[in-house]
Chains A and B, each alone.
Chain A
């Protein structure tokens, strides 16, 4: 039977990525420790140029040191004890919320832009160059600009919050792949399909909802993956360049400043950022799963 065949395949394909992910992590740990074991503390230099990095505990802490650091208190002897792990977790959650918010905001903006550009060739020619140009402007230049909105504008009576700047910047990076991918998807139906909808006396809206949007799902999903990654990077960089507190970006900066004394600490923040990216990718995986039936045979 076709259905049962597909069922077991689906079950297998659901577990295989998880197993692969665990195996990849174990491999990474093994390679890390192996490099530490084999390469001398001072790295390897050929004719005065270092070709392999230092592997001293200051440059490359042991994996267990990094993991162990998670349970250490963030500030030694402080009245309110919080472990580094808890700090990283709360920072990652903060940034995750802003990333996903940015992804959602950018996604809506990207889809709307794509729909507008599909609707009108004139608007496509007018808008597309700016859409592309928007991504060549350095984030570092835009971040202070957006952060400067604080105190100058209010949304629905609420004053502009620093976290809103971070979300807007994440959205700024996320909308681009979505807009480009969706535009490609919306124009993907064959002429014959579009004509069929014409023959069925469907207006633009019905054709959009019943033909163009479903047909663009196979293009949306890879775009959304790119956008999710871009939103996470955007949020972290935005936190750093706007000096927003509470997120993993700020934590990376704070811990990096302490890197000479406590090298393992900065790795805990990097670990948090990596896990954050994985969770964001997983969120897109949920979207993928929800829209599975539209991902039929690509034509």
Chain B
């Protein structure tokens, strides 16, 4: 480059200037500061980093500080294609770049118009300004109203990691601030996790199953009931090892008979070329009762097991036979409800008793009105078949989730950061910590009804009057039901604070939004395998934090500092100090169990430590209980499987009787008074983790005309003049969404499938009941409790109608900007 003097430069540039004008000096006020500074920085490093996620272990290729490829762990038996989306999520164009505050909230505080939340008028603020605002608001609410006015029950699929556990970190900070209202249970299994302790004395849904090698060797008839393990085992709550696929492959290799009961032809049906039975949605209990009635009618039920290992069958039997209510729950009766021919029902019952059979049930059957009945009836049916506790027999509620059944190792448990609150007594899954607690899915009802009493599992409490809600690691504006009702209820809040790494619908409805790092921008440590405890993984930082994102830990530490509680929050440790402490506690425990682990430095350098499998490969759930129920009782009042629960009888709930019962849901396909003709199967998505990764490149592989897909039976489509690839409006009295149609016989007539987790995308956020442009199934679902017992969500209770969309163009065609670059 030729060096020239300043005067020469001015003259030259003036000559070359292509604008024939001069700018007045005053115009300089129009310009912001430069984004550039003098002084070059060295190029960032290249390398490879092993880390992990909800989708498995991977090695990231890093080029000049940028992650450019994720390669699955070489020992992963079934890596998920979603890893590509995980990488994409780091660099999502919807990343939140810096702290922002809703303009009106910034100007007027809690006097701001709450109906304009979600309109997108966010203003950038500094980190210090944002943290000051939050700290002062927490102090205001805690001081004025007390901890009962702060909702910290923030729920969702946070990232894995024992330190950067954002929901626990939030509660840790809020406990130091004075306390908060918590949420009990979850959205996945709320009904099951309340009913199962009454029936089996334990949680069931998040517990190890009879190990896959035992199933592969012994099971003769495998029934996946509303479970699609080929799809859902791709993900794990911690770091999945994908061992479930090894078990499924062994089952297939042996040629074991597989039956799938599901309204939709699932990936599991295809994988096994399975026999497929398609009941009408929400009628599983009727179908089970019809099978149970067949067993009794044909004297096929195992009276010895029922006598020795269960309690209350005698009280259930009159209901089953119809002696109690005049309605025998026969196969014919069930067929009228569920649509499965009576002969098929009877045949299925006979085959279950005539061979070693396993009923592997999913959870969708309990995410519906009266959902408690489904798993209770399944256990009752399994008890009548009498194979619980036998190798490869009985039932399992987690073969589809987090690779349940993968043999457990002898490794130690890994601890993690705690919320610092007082330990609550009682079973962990029912523990209610915080100043108060509500069933987590009743959050909208809570906001609508402060001071009103509610029932929950035998208790009666009062909904608190919430002023401030703080959400991290979750997306309630996707996972909660009846979006339009929820939007209105949210106006109750003075202040809504959210951390996220991307602009989810929840983030867009915040008053204050803070940008959090992804787990690939920080160091952490996590268990491999939810049930197997295969080992411990060093979740190493892959890239530097993007934009102004900060770790949730650092954010809450800074807030605690502003509240004068920093030392109590960090206990004198930094990120690596905490991680090392968790590892060393596990190593100490391992040593006591005879499992030697390397020192922390060696572990961190290696990135992983794996544990040995010994007895875990031959584990049979309930074998000891079966063998001697007196010496090995269950945790129920009788120590037996409770087909009749006196505890539930005492509660006197009109929506949860004391034994498994068929109860009509609020609405169902062809049900009494059904207002709409189609059931919406809001199943878990194949290429997402609920709503996670919806904003990534993976969407290009499944979206139809830019919308969430809607699978529709050819007969239903033809009746409405709908063709493959059409954009349709799906609607009911609760809302309306657009989807793209795929016409397929994979769904039964009368059912459409729209995966849950599509990002809510309102056409006009200010308009009540506005059209959701993308396809959020929970715009349509009913926000009612499963019952007074479980108070779970009813995300599968939904019927609707479909019509070809003829409104103004709102598809993403005009927005496929990157495609234009092709």
Query: Bound pair: A and B?
Result: no
Q: Mark A residues whose CB is within 8 Å of B.
A: none
